């Protein structure tokens, strides 16, 4: 596209965003990015800008938007502290493979390196936690750099890119010309698939007596949910999911056997060490899944489907790597599979999960103790939405409980901070998710600790009228840390009890309707009121102070060390 008239670098940037299909920006203005914000004043019909209350909130909101929509999230901030405030969100996006463009302002080129007001080397700071980080000093680089950024962020294994724009590049005049980037020399986003590996994978699966699939977020990123189901059903392979793969497989699919990992379901963790073929699909063998690597699935042949060669064999020895996009590699293997039946093997999962239900789950979701449990709140909210809501979580006990006790029908319905475990992620991410999916109910579960880390984003909800449903599970503790203190530090609750504000009054100050529940008999009514309300709503539920997320495999141990009961 060519513009006959000269435009400023700022206009070139906004035109480039529009060319890439961006429709929403989460940002916060400041001195070094003011020319872009000034140009944005004339783009309200093309680009929606959401004014956050903190730059970390901008990045987390962009993450929530990206995770709910599958598009690239965009954040726009100023230099210095505005840029450094984005680093936590950028690192979170990097480890969780979230496509993101962070645009920061910078001092003018002649002032670079002089310690000018609000100057910081954000490119140097961000390089370890981005796929690409680049400083634009000339206006004629803007279209090229933006095209490169979108291609890098969204291709292959997605991730964050940072573009740092000097102020003189923003104001200089150029003839705007934009071409989308489709390739970069030496950058290979999708590795070549080895046909022999496809054949070997199919051979192992066809001969397996006890195959087991581990499903990660890579299936969702690759939009390969249908291909996954075809694969599992043809070979009759029971499957379990990682935290970020929680909404890849519908909760009621008969081959869905639950959650993996430290706080996962008993059967998937146990059967990992009983299967004869382990098929990992779009997951990275995180330490919270494998525990003790020396005893992890030693009896099994391991097949690993992944788009990132760096993940294959990194944490676990692999027998057959299947590199490529699972959208293509899964059907390629499926075509080589024979129709199989593993009824007894599949039934064995249900027997073990039944033991967990009796010892843990029934008491948690149908609690008859004095205090309300987290699990019963999550179950009731999920069921009242018809299990169709987008579930967003913060980090901690609320996160693990939401993964365990909410149910998901559709893809892109569970959004959480996985690898970095960022408290404060939940509230802004829920804002981004709701803006990306305005016709879907978005329910945020958070603890009293995490809620206060980005509580200022209630102002974003107020100003942009974002109809998020916020459920604070208030146990008056930093709950997950307290659980570890109780189990491994002789109940020495060092700095984990929380003296909290009146969350409902704070919500009301932001013109958000709120209610507090302390008794079980009013919970159902309050949940219904929250979901029926045409607007944002904050529901604070006072839950059991010393509730535990069980089962639990202690860090670095294996399933034989699993804790099922207090």
Ramachandran quadrant class, 86 (left: phi over 0; alpha: psi -120 to 50; beta: rest): alpha
Residue 480 annotated among the catalytic residues of the structure: yes
Beta carbons of 107 and 83 less than 8 angstroms apart: no
432, two tokens: 């981004």
Residue 383 annotated among the catalytic residues of the structure: no
Instruction: Name which of 317, 254, 315, 326 is nearest 290 in CA terms.
Output: 315
Tell me the C-alpha distance between 212 and 313, whole Å.
Answer: 18
Instruction: Name which of 514, 398, 374 is nearest 451 in CA terms.
Output: 398
Instruction: Name which of 62, 77, 69, 85 is nearest 27 in CA terms.
Output: 77
Residue 1 annotated among the catalytic residues of the structure: no
DSSP designation for 193:
P
375-393 burial: b if 16+ Cβ within 10 Å, else e: bbbbbbbbebbebebbbbb
192, two tokens: 């070549």
DSSP designation for 30:
-
Beta carbons of 466 and 435 less than 8 angstroms apart: yes
Instruction: Name which of 267, 316, 321 is nearest 295 in CA terms.
Output: 316
Find how far residue 545's CA is from the centre of its chain: 27
Pick the catalytic residue from 167, 327, 407, 476: 167
Residue 167 annotated among the catalytic residues of the structure: yes
Find how far residue 323's CA is from the centre of its chain: 23
Tell me the C-alpha distance between 483 and 551, whole Å.
Answer: 12
Tell me the C-alpha distance between 37 and 198, whole Å.
Answer: 50
269-295 burial: b if 16+ Cβ within 10 Å, else e: bbbbbbbbbbbbbbbbbbebbbbbeee
Strand 513-517 to 537-542 pairing: parallel
Pick the catalytic residue from 400, 480, 530, 548: 480
Tell me the C-alpha distance between 273 and 176, whole Å.
Answer: 59
- Can you list the positions of beta strands (E) in 331-438? 390-393, 414-415
Q: What angle do CA 447, 502, 474 make, to 5 degrees?
A: 25
Find the length of the chain.
566
Beta carbons of 189 and 257 less than 8 angstroms apart: no
Beta carbons of 541 and 517 less than 8 angstroms apart: yes
Residue 434 annotated among the catalytic residues of the structure: no
Q: Give the alpha-carbon dihedral of 474, 475, 478, 479, to 10 degrees.
A: -120
Tell me the C-alpha distance between 380 and 174, whole Å.
Answer: 57
Pick the catalytic residue from 118, 127, 236, 463: 118
Find how far residue 330's CA is from the centre of its chain: 23
Tell me the C-alpha distance between 366 and 363, whole Å.
Answer: 5
Pick the catalytic residue from 20, 55, 141, 220: 55
Beta carbons of 451 and 472 less than 8 angstroms apart: yes
Tell me the C-alpha distance between 388 and 313, whole Å.
Answer: 36
- Can you list the positions of beta strands (E) in 83-123? 100-106
Pick the catalytic residue from 46, 117, 179, 314: 117
Residues belonging to the active site: 55, 117-118, 167, 480
């Amino acid at each position: 596209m060519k513009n006959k008239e000269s435009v400023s670098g700022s206009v070139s940037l906004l035109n480039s965003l529009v060319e890439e299909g961006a429709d929403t920006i989460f940002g916060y203005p400041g001195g070094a990015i003011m020319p872009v914000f000034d140009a944005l004043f004339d783009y309200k019909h093309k680009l929606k800008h959401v004014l956050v209350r903190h730059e970390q909130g901008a990045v987390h909101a962009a993450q929530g938007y990206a995770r709910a929509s599958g598009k690239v999230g965009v954040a726009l901030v100023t230099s210095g502290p505005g840029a450094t405030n984005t680093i936590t969100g950028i690192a979170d996006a990097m480890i969780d493979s979230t496509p993101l463009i962070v645009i920061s302002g910078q001092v003018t080129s002649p002032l670079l390196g002089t310690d000018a007001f609000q100057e910081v080397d954000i490119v140097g700071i961000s390089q370890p936690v981005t796929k690409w980080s680049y400083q634009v000093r000339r206006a004629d680089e803007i279209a090229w750099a933006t095209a490169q950024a979108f291609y890098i962020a969204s291709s292959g294994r997605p991730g964050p890119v940072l573009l740092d724009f000097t102020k003189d590049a923003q104001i200089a005049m150029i003839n705007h010309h934009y071409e989308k980037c489709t390739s970069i020399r030496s950058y290979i986003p999708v590795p070549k698939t080895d046909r022999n590996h496809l054949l070997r994978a199919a051979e192992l699966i066809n001969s397996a007596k006890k195959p087991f699939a581990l499903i990660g977020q890579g299936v969702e990123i690759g939009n390969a949910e249908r291909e996954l189901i075809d694969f599992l059903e043809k070979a009759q392979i029971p499957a379990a999911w990682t935290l970020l793969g929680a909404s890849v497989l519908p909760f009621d699919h008969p081959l869905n056997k639950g959650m993996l990992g430290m706080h996962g379901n008993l059967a998937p963790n146990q059967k990992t060490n009983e299967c004869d073929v382990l098929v990992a699909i779009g997951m990275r063998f995180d330490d919270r899944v494998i525990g003790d690597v020396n005893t992890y699935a030693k009896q099994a042949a391991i097949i690993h489907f992944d788009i990132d060669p760096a993940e294959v064999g990194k944490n676990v020895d692999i027998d057959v790597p299947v590199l490529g996009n699972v959208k293509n590699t899964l059907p390629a293997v499926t075509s080589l599979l024979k129709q199989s039946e593993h009824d007894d093997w599949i039934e064995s999962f249900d027997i073990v999960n039944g033991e967990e239900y009796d010892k843990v789950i029934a008491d948690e979701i149908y609690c008859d103790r004095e205090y309300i449990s987290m699990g019963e709140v999550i179950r009731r909210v999920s069921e009242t939405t018809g299990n169709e809501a987008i579930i967003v979580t913060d980090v901690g006990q609320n996160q693990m409980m939401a993964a365990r006790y909410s149910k998901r029908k559709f893809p892109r319905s569970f959004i959480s901070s996985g690898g970095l475990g960022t408290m404060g992620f939940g509230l802004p991410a829920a804002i981004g998710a709701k803006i990306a999916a305005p016709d879907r109910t978005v329910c945020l579960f958070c603890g009293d600790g995490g809620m206060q880390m980005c509580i200022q984003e209630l102002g974003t909800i107020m100003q942009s009228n974002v109809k998020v449903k916020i459920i604070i599970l208030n146990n008056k503790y930093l709950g997950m840390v307290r659980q570890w203190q109780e189990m491994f530090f002789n109940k020495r609750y060092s700095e984990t009890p929380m003296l909290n504000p009146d969350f409902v009054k704070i919500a009301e100050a932001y013109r958000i309707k709120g209610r507090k529940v302390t008794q079980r008999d009013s919970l159902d009514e309050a949940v219904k009121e929250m979901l029926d309300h045409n607007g944002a709503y904050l529901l604070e539920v006072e839950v059991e102070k010393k509730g535990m997320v069980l089962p639990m495999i202690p860090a670095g141990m294996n399933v034989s060390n699993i804790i099922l009961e207090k």
